[in-house]
Chains A and B, each alone.
Chain A
């Protein structure tokens, strides 16, 4: 089955700096890659996603890039703000499966 690795597990940045979180996946047939933000005690919320026919997608301060050949994708957050502090999860889906396979998460702390 699919395996998703996520790095780093923790990340601290100064407010205004950029943050990058990276994920790799194992199944080359996966074709859907969402990113979720989970604040403490709350439900995961989708912040951005990308499909395998697209190399990059941007939504204001958030962008995701996908390298199908290398089987990795990354989340980029620019001009970070304290409210960006949360745990971020990457996931992979598709490949004839109904499930999403999640990474272990990255705890992002934005220091004011």
Chain B
């Protein structure tokens, strides 16, 4: 049974560019949450999606946006990249009935130069 799949695994972008990260949830999971993990820090909540709608958003600017598709997969988009956006971006899927029962993906390491 496939767990959470994220792509790409690594990415290097230039300041000001835009990036799209992708996540396929664990089979059966219907809720996707995105977290940003800066080096040496704990994960920080970006937002959560269920039924193709953003349910809750963390303290991140509008440059961060997302989408969930009918098959429950999700994308995270970041516009106008800043050096400070360099981090590991983690996707976590869960059941709506067990909202914190996360399965994390291995993450996408984004480096902004």
Give A residues with C-beta under 8 Å from B.
1, 4, 6, 32, 34, 42-46, 49, 89, 91, 93, 97-105
Contact = CB atoms under 8 A, between A and B. Distances in A.
B36 to A, nearest CB: 11
Contacts of B107: 43
Given A99-B33, A99-B48, A105 B100 contact: no
B105 interface: yes
Interface residues of B, number: 21
B102 interface: yes
Interface in B30-76: 33, 40-45, 48, 55-56, 58-59
Interface of B: 4, 33, 40-45, 48, 55-56, 58-59, 90, 99-100, 102, 104-107
Main DSSP-derived SS at the A contact region: strand
A84 B40 CA distance: 18
B94 to A, nearest CB: 10
B40 A100 contact: no
Given A43-B105, A44-B104, A93-B100, A100 B41 contact: no
